[in-house]
């Protein structure tokens, strides 16, 4: 099926998705942005087929709407879209870095019968705008979707396939709360730490310019993200405020432990902590080593009704099992649907089989033998 895709906000993320869509699919792409120069550039380089002069013009007849605006504007835009009469088969998604607040707004669309599926590609840059867009930005990165339980299986699959094809990312389904907690720790907290360090050293530098002159690899590596877009990060932190406040308490505790160790000349504690850090840092999965990822799969029968996908995804999420992809294999009327669940780790597959079987779902292997 050929889609008409409206991208609202043709900046770094919207522009990168648009480029991927035009490079790797045949879908028609319409761009809308407040900055006309972004749209002109996008049209010139073939990232979009058409420039829309208004939000209404962009979404009219769109079958998929991707909201790629700063988080506060994503919420506002969802409210605006809920006032328009979108066709019932339209899927609306977003790319915002937080998910719980956006999903609450998305309920307004779901109440109108429109499928709203939250999204967040876990890759980006401290740069912003269409000029920085890149069709390879999301290659091999995780792209998280947070479909509410009411969304039909087929819609989640339609969006997931489209995004996978356009971005070459690894699509993962996750609960919004789970997402905000984890992304708070691995993205939002690091941005605060980088900004805090840059401001602290900037204050020393005001007294003595040698601080900046001597800032070498360590400072530069750690603070690249301190140059990120201020309004975008204001929105992200305000949207994930509760999670980030909790994370900051833990961070203060970490820093206090370092200070105590130094005050008490506890060299062993310092060495042990750096040894732990080195070991953990070296075991971080490298995005680029997974160019041909090994996939572990199983098949599961689910009742063919709208909430079924959410229940399976939620069950796995609650057990901390990362689903890397989900596809509907069969969709017979009034009978069972068959889902193919893919995992990156064999251990996650084993855990999923155990937890789905315990919950009463029939689970099969590749040869469709009952597991
Ligand atoms: N930058 C990243 O690393 C990254 C990664 C993943 C997700 N995100 C999320 O993606 C979203 C977009 O971020 P980005 O990095 O692409 O930002 P960006 O600034 O590059 O793009 C945002 C675009 O929105 C446009 N815009 C702003 N106000 C508008 C308005 N009122 N009406 C129409 N257009 C308007 C801007 O002109 C710009 O082109 C944010 O919600 C962010 O949280 C960012
Ligand atoms: O690479 C960067 O510059 C980023 O900040 C990308 C990054 C991140 O924190 O990892 C930033 C925000 C997004 O929501 C996802 C990815």
Of the pLDDT bands very low, low, confident and very high (cuts 50, 70, 90), residue 325 is confident
Cα separation of the two ends of the chain: 35
Q: What is the mean pLDDT of residues 138-159?
A: 95
Nearest ligand for residue 71 CA: 1
- Cα–Cα distances (Å) from 341 to 24, 83, 154, 188, 323, in that order, read 25, 36, 15, 30, 7
Answer yes or no: is pLDDT of 335 > 90. no
Fold: same for 179-283 and 296-364: no
What are the tens digits of pLDDT across the range 156-214? Answer: 999 999 999 999 999 999 999 999 999 999 999 999 999 999 999 999 999 999 999 99
- Cβ atoms 341, 352 nearer than 8 A: yes
Answer yes or no: is pLDDT of 331 > 50. no
Q: Tell me the sheet residues that pair with 331.
A: 337
Q: Which of 12, 134, 142 gets mutated to test ligand 1 (max ligand atoms within 8 A of its CB)? A: 12
- Among 3.40.50.920, 3.30.470.20, 3.40.50.720, 3.30.565.10, name the CATH number for the domain at 4-174: 3.40.50.720
Strand-strand pairing, 336-343 and 325-331? antiparallel
Instruction: Round to whole Å and give the CA distance between 174 and 324.
Output: 10
- The number of the ligand 2 atom at minimal distance from the alpha carbon of 188 is 9
Q: What is the CATH number of domain 179-283?
A: 1.10.3660.10
37 sits in which H/E element: helix 36-44
Nearest ligand for residue 190 CA: 2
Q: How far is the CA of 188 from the centre of ligand 2 (A)?
A: 8
Tokens of 137: 């930005």
Q: How far is the CA of 233 from the centre of ligand 2 (A)?
A: 10
Q: Tell me the sheet residues that pair with 173.
A: 145
- Cβ atoms 121, 141 nearer than 8 A: yes
Q: Is 265 left (phi over 0), alpha (psi -120 to 50) or beta?
A: left
Instruction: Round to whole Å and give the CA distance between 155 and 33.
Output: 26
Q: What is the largest CA-CA distance in the chain?
A: 74
Nearest ligand for residue 225 CA: 2
Nearest CA to ligand 2 atom 3: 125
Write down the pTM of the prediction. Answer: 0.82
| Residue 185: per-residue pLDDT | 98
Q: Domain-by-domain residue ranges, the chain?
A: 4-174, 179-283, 296-364
Q: What is the ipTM metric for this complex? A: 0.99
Strand-strand pairing, 64-67 and 4-8? parallel
Q: Which of 225, 230, 233, 235 gets mutated to test ligand 2 (max ligand atoms within 8 A of its CB)? A: 225
Instruction: Round to whole Å and give the CA distance between 196 and 212.
Output: 15
| Residue 324: per-residue pLDDT | 81
Enter the DSSP assignment of 278: H
Q: Dihedral sign for Cα 71, 106, 3, 34, please.
A: negative
| Residue 288: per-residue pLDDT | 59
DSSP of 99-117: -HHHHHHHHHHHHTT-EEE
| Residue 367: per-residue pLDDT | 58
- Among 3.30.70.260, 3.40.50.970, 3.40.190.10, 3.40.50.300, name the CATH number for the domain at 296-364: 3.30.70.260
Nearest CA to ligand 2 atom 9: 187
Q: How far is the CA of 190 from the centre of ligand 2 (A)?
A: 10
Q: Which of 187, 234, 236 gets mutated to test ligand 2 (max ligand atoms within 8 A of its CB)? A: 187
Give the gyration radius of the chain's Cα atoms.
22
Q: How many CA atoms lie within 13 A of 152 on its CB side?
A: 11
DSSP of 166-193: HH--EEEE--HHHHHHHHIIIIIHHHHH
| Residue 336: per-residue pLDDT | 64
Nearest CA to ligand 2 atom 8: 187
What are the tens digits of pLDDT across the range 102-144? Answer: 999 999 999 999 999 999 999 999 999 999 999 999 999 999 9
- Cβ atoms 96, 136 nearer than 8 A: no
Pocket of ligand 1 (CB under 6 A): 9-14, 33-35, 38, 68-71, 73-74, 95-97, 120-121, 124-125, 128-129, 229, 232, 236
Q: How far is the CA of 143 from the centre of ligand 2 (A)?
A: 12
Q: Dihedral sign for Cα 11, 14, 20, 21, please.
A: negative
Mark out the alpha helices in 174-304 (DSSP H runs).
176-183, 189-207, 210-213, 217-223, 230-239, 241-263, 267-282
Instruction: Round to whole Å and give the CA distance between 309 and 88.
Output: 19
58 sits in which H/E element: helix 55-59
What are the tens digits of pLDDT across the range 75-101? Answer: 999 999 999 989 879 999 999 999 999
Question: Is residue 217 classed exposed, middle or buried when 0-12, 13-18 and 19+ CB atoms within 10 A define those classes?
Answer: exposed
Q: How far is the CA of 353 from the centre of ligand 2 (A)?
A: 33
Q: How far is the CA of 157 from the centre of ligand 2 (A)?
A: 25
196-203: long-range pairs with CB below 8 Å, 24+: 197/222, 197/223, 197/226, 198/223, 198/226
- The number of the ligand 1 atom at minimal distance from the alpha carbon of 229 is 19
């Amino acid at each position: 099926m050929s889609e008409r895709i409206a991208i609202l906000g043709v900046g770094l993320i919207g522009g990168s998705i648009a480029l991927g869509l035009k490079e790797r699919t045949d879908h028609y792409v319409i761009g809308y942005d407040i900055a006309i120069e972004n749209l002109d550039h996008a049209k010139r380089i073939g990232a979009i087929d058409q420039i829309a002069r208004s939000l209404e013009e962009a979404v009219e007849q769109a079958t998929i709407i991707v909201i790629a605006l700063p988080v506060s504007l994503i919420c506002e835009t969802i409210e605006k879209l809920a006032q328009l009469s979108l066709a019932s088969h339209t899927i609306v998604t977003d790319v915002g870095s937080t998910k719980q607040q956006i999903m609450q707004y998305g309920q307004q669309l779901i109440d109108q019968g429109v499928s709203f599926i939250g999204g967040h590609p876990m890759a980006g840059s401290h740069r912003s705008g269409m000029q920085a867009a890149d069709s390879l930005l999301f290659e091999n990165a995780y792209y998280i979707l947070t479909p509410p339980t009411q969304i039909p299986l087929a819609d989640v699959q339609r969006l997931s396939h489209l995004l996978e094809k356009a971005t070459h990312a690894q699509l993962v389904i996750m609960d919004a709360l789970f997402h905000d907690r984890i992304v708070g720790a691995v993205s939002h907290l690091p941005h605060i730490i980088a900004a805090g360090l840059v401001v602290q050293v900037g204050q020393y530098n005001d007294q003595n310019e040698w601080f900046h002159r001597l800032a070498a690899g360590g400072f530069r590596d750690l603070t690249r993200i301190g140059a990120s877009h201020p309004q975008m990060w204001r929105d992200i932190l305000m949207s994930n405020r509760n999670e980030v406040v909790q994370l900051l308490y833990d961070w203060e505790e970490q820093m206090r432990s370092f200070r105590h160790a130094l005050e008490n000349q506890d060299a062993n504690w310092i060495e042990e902590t750096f040894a732990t850090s080195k070991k953990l840092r070296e075991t971080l999965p490298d995005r680029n080593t997974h160019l041909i990822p090994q996939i572990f799969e199983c098949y599961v029968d689910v009742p063919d009704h709208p909430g079924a996908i959410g229940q399976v995804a939620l069950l796995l999420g609650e057990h901390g099992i990362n689903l890397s992809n989900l596809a509907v294999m069969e969709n017979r009327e009034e009978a069972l649907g068959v889902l193919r669940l893919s995992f990156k780790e064999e251990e996650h597959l084993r855990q999923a089989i155990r937890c789905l079987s315990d919950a009463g779902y029939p689970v099969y292997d590749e040869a469709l033998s009952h597991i």
